[in-house]
Every structure is written in C-alpha cells, then in structure tokens.
C-alpha cells in the first residue's frame, strides 16, 4: 500500500506543479483531482485490513540521516511506535494549541505552516516538503519542561504521506542520544530565527 500511495501522491504533485505553472487547464486539474481522491479513498478502505509492516517503517527510519546514529535495536523500537499515514490537500495535520502526542516526518508531499499573530490574523510562515520534520517545538519543550501545546497549525498542501512517531518514543531516544536532540534543536532554532521567512512555491 505504501508503494501505491507514493505513486499516486508523486503523480498528483507533478500534476499540481503543471497546473501552477500554467501547463494544465482548470478542467484537467479538477478532473485529475477527482480521480486521485477516488483512488486514495479506495486505498483507505483497504488499509484497516492491511497493517503497516514494522519492518517497512523501520527501513524508512534507517534511511533518514536524522536517525543515522541509532542502533538497530533502537530503530526497531521507533518502528514499533510509528505508523505511515496520509493526508489530502487542505487536511489539518496538526493544530495550534493542541497537545502534542505525536511527531511527524514527511515522506512524500508538501505542507504549509500557519501562525496567528497578536491581531488574530493568520499567516503562512513556512512550507515543508519531503524529509522535513513537524512537531519539534513541542518535542523539545516536553523534553525540557513536560507537557506543552503546539505553536502552529500545519496543513497538507498536496497529498502527503507522513511517518507518525509516538512523542513518548522520540523522547526516550533523545534521552539516550543527545546528538539527535542537538539536531532537533538546530532545526528548531533555524526555523525560529525568522518568524516570517520568504516562501516559494517551488
């Protein structure tokens, strides 16, 4: 199922890029979008009967540079506390002020980060894509101070396949691997350096 989802989502992302660059008509875009949604719905109907294989999830984790230092045993541990999930364009992946119980990594797709300012205006402040992480703010806050609420809303811009990992499991890894925590901290600091970075649609 993961391979099928990846193929569908990659194809859809290509179609969306064509539309945004004026190489595809609105009619063609809507027609393709409807077909993609129907295919994804069929996959979702199949998923309850087909559990994600822990070994597949572990292989994905092992390929991520973020977890390169982890032992096979710890990769297996994360794999048993992770799942592959998908979102359609416009779906909310995580909401501001929610309690963060999970951490996410984008396998395929694009997502947008939205924040609300002091005047209650909502702004898009970042775009995330393949390999990017989501939920590091809550992760680091919980590591230092305990339970913490999310600071931004993240929505799928394109069909997305994500790796969802239990926050509890990630926290155990950070305790054992300080270098991994430092990587998360660097990503967090870089993102926080500019609250309204320049965004491109590439």
How far, in Å, CA of 73 to CA of 75, rounded? Answer: 5
How far, in Å, CA of 35 to CA of 37, rounded? Answer: 5
- 141 part of a folded domain: yes
- 198 part of a folded domain: no
108 and 173 share a domain?
Answer: yes
176 and 117 share a domain?
Answer: yes
**The predicted structure's pLDDT at residue 200:** 37
- 182 part of a folded domain: yes
**The predicted structure's pLDDT at residue 105:** 92
46 and 78 share a domain?
Answer: no
For residue 168, give its domain range: 53-192
Neighbours of 101 (CB within 10 A): 13
How far, in Å, CA of 10 to CA of 200, rounded? Answer: 19
Report the number of distinct structural domains present in the chain: 2
From 50, 74, 91, give the residue that closes a domain: 50
1 and 64 share a domain?
Answer: no
**The predicted structure's pLDDT at residue 199:** 35
- Residue 160 near residue 115, CB atoms below 8 Å: no
- Residue 103 near residue 170, CB atoms below 8 Å: yes
- 95 part of a folded domain: yes
- Residue 150 near residue 97, CB atoms below 8 Å: yes
What pLDDT digit, counting tens, does each position of 11-43 carry? 667 777 777 778 778 877 777 777 777 766 665
88 and 59 share a domain?
Answer: yes
Residue ranges of the chain whose pLDDT lies below 70 = 1-12, 39-55, 141-149, 192-202
67 and 7 share a domain?
Answer: no
- 202 part of a folded domain: no
Cα atoms found within 13 Å of the Cα of residue 155, Cβ hemisphere only: 11
Output the domain CATH number for residue 99. Answer: 2.60.120.10
Cα distance from N-terminal residue to C-terminal residue, the chain: 28
148 and 95 share a domain?
Answer: yes
């Amino acid at each position: 199922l993961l391979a099928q989802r990846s193929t569908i989502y990659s194809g859809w992302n290509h179609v969306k890029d064509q539309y945004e660059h004026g190489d595809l008509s609105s009619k063609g875009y809507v027609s393709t979008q409807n077909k993609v949604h129907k295919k994804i719905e069929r996959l979702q109907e199949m998923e309850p009967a087909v559990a994600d294989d822990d070994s597949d999830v572990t292989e994905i984790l092992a390929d991520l540079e973020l977890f390169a230092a982890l032992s096979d045993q710890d990769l297996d541990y994360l794999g048993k506390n992770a799942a592959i999930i998908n979102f359609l364009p416009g779906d909310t992946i995580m909401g501001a002020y929610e309690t963060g119980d999970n951490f996410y990594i984008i396998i395929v797709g694009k997502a947008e980060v939205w924040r609300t300012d002091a005047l209650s205006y909502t702004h898009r402040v970042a775009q995330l894509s393949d390999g990017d992480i989501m939920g590091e703010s809550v992760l680091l806050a919980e590591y230092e101070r305990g339970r913490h609420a999310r600071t931004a809303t993240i929505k799928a811009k394109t069909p997305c396949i994500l790796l969802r990992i239990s926050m509890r499991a990630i926290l155990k890894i950070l305790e054992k691997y300080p270098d991994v925590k430092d990587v998360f901290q660097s990503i967090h600091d870089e993102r926080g350096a500019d609250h309204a970075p320049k965004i491109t649609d590439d």
